[in-house]
Amino acid sequence: MQVTVIGSGYVGTTLAACLADLGHDVTNVDIDEEIVAAIESGVAPIHEAGLDELVAEHGGERLRATTDYDVATRANVVFIALPTPTDAEGRIDTSIITAGAEQLGAALAESEERPLVVVKSTVVPGTTENELIPALERGSGSTVGEAFDVAVNPEFLREGTAVSDFLHPDKVVFGAQHARAYETLNELYAPLFERTDTAVVRTGIREAEMIKYANNAFLASKISLINELGNICKEFGVDAYEVADAIGLDDRIGPQFLRSGVGWGGSCFPKDVAALIAAARDAGYDPELLDAVVGVNDRQPERLLSILDDHVDVNGERVAVLGLAFKSGTDDIRSSRAIPTIEGLLERGATVVGYDPVATENMRAEFPDIEYASSAADALSGATAAVVVTDWDEFAALDEEFDAMARPVVVDGRRIVEPRAGIEYEGLTW
Ligand SMILES: NC(=O)C1=CN([C@@H]2O[C@H](COP(=O)(O)OP(=O)(O)OC[C@H]3O[C@@H](n4cnc5c(N)ncnc54)[C@H](O)[C@@H]3O)[C@@H](O)[C@H]2O)C=CC1
Ligand SMILES: O=C(O)[C@H]1O[C@H](OP(=O)(O)OP(=O)(O)OC[C@H]2O[C@@H](n3ccc(=O)[nH]c3=O)[C@H](O)[C@@H]2O)[C@H](O)[C@@H](O)[C@@H]1O
């Protein structure tokens, strides 16, 4: 099929490269000319395992990129994978996606086919019907069902494992109003369904929008709950990871997302939980539990630092921050727990030296004035303390590197460093 993907960030690029790999002809549209040039020349514009290979194989051929929305006139399916950030009050900010939908509508006015426009971005229930369809109609001067159809197909991939998650999903969700839209999505995903046993959920547009928020809210809540339990464990001298291993054996709980520590960050949990809270409140419901989920998460970096305070006064001391990305496997630092951790250290008068295998340049834009090391060993050398914020595998292998510290205080926010003789080690929830 001919596919256009509007927006070529973490989701749009992964989606386009994977659809090209499944045999479709795909074009990414982005306003960023560097991203477009990268894809055209077969280079992945973001760091994602497996993406380099797919973009190298298909870029410039079955996978194209352009800044021109008019390419959508040739498409059977057009995905919208534009950002849906939150505003200062935590509400979803639909300005980018609405403007994109209107621009897409204008391009679709020239369309020969009746393409299916698929909302991939995460949007609060009602957004597609109340804002995106009207924007497409304004742009095209036509109505839904006449010039184009609309569906919602939320994305559940995780950064760091985006390609593998997309190609091996637990489920795909098709939200639509008409059989024709389900059929088109089915045809598009058919090569994937042939390879994997995937649950397909056919539902309405609002339900599909809500399923995405419910999924993220549930996962964020699960982590905050294990963090709350972990904080209590710590007070009793109990190892929260032993407790998590045991409760995870209960099928009703399950073993995933039970790693307690410095909390959840990233481009989605923080903004999506905030947007759901704001939308619920606007609708007249007070989401007390979700407020607490955010509250527990906000507290974890400060708890990490207060454990550090118990070991050492960091004022005037060099402190290594191991890990800057919001999780391992990505260079994304959006809402990384490293940010409040660095802020807290700077407030305490510490000299901060950060290290991350891939996210340093992104963090440099956020904190241009701290020092960045090119290896964990360099970061630790001469440091009075180290805090671990991201669960990169390489931190598990650190050993004699700690010997070069001025004082080997290590506070681990991710249960990744191997405690050993000679270091003053303490974990956040164990
Ligand atoms: N990052 C993730 O892991 C996931 C994100 N999502 C959702 O997917 C959507 C996109 O997220 P990301 O890919 O992370 O965003 P992103 O910020 O990585 O990428 C967005 C891209 O859109 C481009 N763009 C901005 N305005 C544009 C316009 N008017 N026309 C064309 N391109 C434009 C930007 O240059 C950028 O390349 C959001 O709604 C997000 O909540 C859903 C599941 C996973
Ligand atoms: O909507 C989105 O953007 C995506 O958000 C998350 O994916 P992502 O944020 O990429 O990464 P996760 O693996 O979920 O990790 C999120 C945060 O939770 C933290 N986490 C995760 C698991 C855990 O047990 N403990 C924990 O603290 C991670 O360190 C990270 O900071 C969801 O897992 C995806 O399903 C969803 O598509």
From residue 122, alpha-carbon distances to 143, 232, 420 in Å are 23, 34, 44
**270-273 contacts, C-beta under 8 A, 24 or more apart:** 270/294, 270/297, 270/335, 271/84, 271/85, 271/86, 271/335, 272/122, 272/212, 272/213, 272/216, 272/217, 272/220, 273/216, 273/217, 273/220
The rounded Å distance from CA 158 to ligand 2 centre is: 6
Rounded to an integer, the average pLDDT of 100-128 is 96
Element (H, E) at 232: helix 205-235
Distance spanning both ends of the chain, measured CA to CA: 52
What does the domain layout of the chain look like in residue ranges?
Answer: 2-203, 239-429
Per-residue confidence (pLDDT) for residue 133, from 0 to 100: 98
Question: What's the CA-to-centroid distance between 8 and ligand 1, angstroms?
Answer: 7
- Pairing relation of β-strands 116-119 and 77-80? parallel
Mean pLDDT of 360-387: 98
Which ligand 1 atom sits nearest the alpha carbon of residue 158? 3
Catalytic residue, from 268, 308, 379, 416: name it: 268
- Cα 145 to chain centroid distance, Å, stands at 33
CB–CB of 208/152 below 8 Å?
A: yes
How is domain 239-429 classified at the architecture level of CATH?
3-Layer(aba) Sandwich (3.40)
pLDDT in tens, 299-349: 999 999 999 999 999 999 999 999 999 999 999 999 999 999 999 999 999
Q: DSSP 3-state assignment of 148?
A: strand
Residue nearest to atom 5 of ligand 2 (CA): 268
Average pLDDT, the chain: 97
103: pLDDT strictly greater than 90: yes
What gap in Å lies between CA 214 and CA 267, rounded to an integer?
Answer: 16
pLDDT one-digit tens code per residue, 183-227: 999 999 999 999 999 999 999 999 999 999 999 999 999 999 999
Mutate to test the pocket of ligand 1, among 118, 211, 268, 272 (most ligand atoms within 8 A of CB): 268
Q: What is the pLDDT of residue 110?
A: 87
Indicate if the pLDDT at residue 290 is higher than 90.
yes
CATH tag, 2-203: 3.40.50.720
Lookup: tokens for 386: 């180290």
Inform me whether the pLDDT recorded for 44 exceeds 90.
Answer: yes
The reply to whether domains 2-203 and 239-429 share a CATH topology is yes
Q: What DSSP designation does 238 have?
A: -
Q: For residues 278 and 291, what is the distance between their CA atoms, to the nearest angstrom?
A: 10
Q: Is 18 a catalytic residue?
A: no
Q: What is the pLDDT of residues 375-427, one digit of tens each?
A: 999 999 999 999 999 999 999 999 999 999 999 999 999 999 999 999 999 99
> 257: Cβ below 6 Å to ligand 2?
yes
Residue 122 assigned ligand-binding role: yes
User: How much is the pTM?
Assistant: 0.96
Q: Name the residue at shortest CA distance from atom 5 of ligand 1.
A: 11
Q: What is the largest CA-CA distance in the chain?
A: 72
- ipTM reported for the complex surpasses 0.95: yes
Q: Quote the DSSP letter at residue 86.
A: B
What does the pLDDT look like over 130-158, one tens digit per residue? Answer: 999 999 999 999 999 999 999 999 999 99
User: Whose C-alpha lies nearest to ligand 1, atom 18?
Assistant: 9
- Beta-carbon count within 10 A of 2 CB: 17
**Can you give the pLDDT at residue 112?**
80
Confidence check: pLDDT of 243 > 90: yes
Distance CA(231)–CA(421), nearest Å, equals 25
425 within ligand 2 shell (Cβ under 6 A):
no
Q: Count of CB atoms within 10 A of residue 346's CB?
A: 15
DSSP code, position 318: E
pLDDT at residue 229 greater than cutoff 90: yes
- Predicted confidence at residue 113, as pLDDT, reads 81
What is the rounded CA–CA span in Å between residue 100 and residue 97? 5
pLDDT at 210: 98
- The C-alpha angle with vertex 160 and arms to 156 and 165, in degrees rounded to 5, equals 40
d(CA 424, CA 430): 14
Q: Provide mean pLDDT across the span 358-363.
A: 97
Alpha-carbon distance 161 to 430, whole Å?
28
One-letter amino acid at 167 equals L
Ligand 1 centroid distance, CA of 12 (Å):
7
- Nearest atom within ligand 2 for CA of residue 326: 31
Provide the pLDDT for residue 47.
Answer: 86
Distance from the CA of 364 to the center of ligand 2, in angstroms? Answer: 23
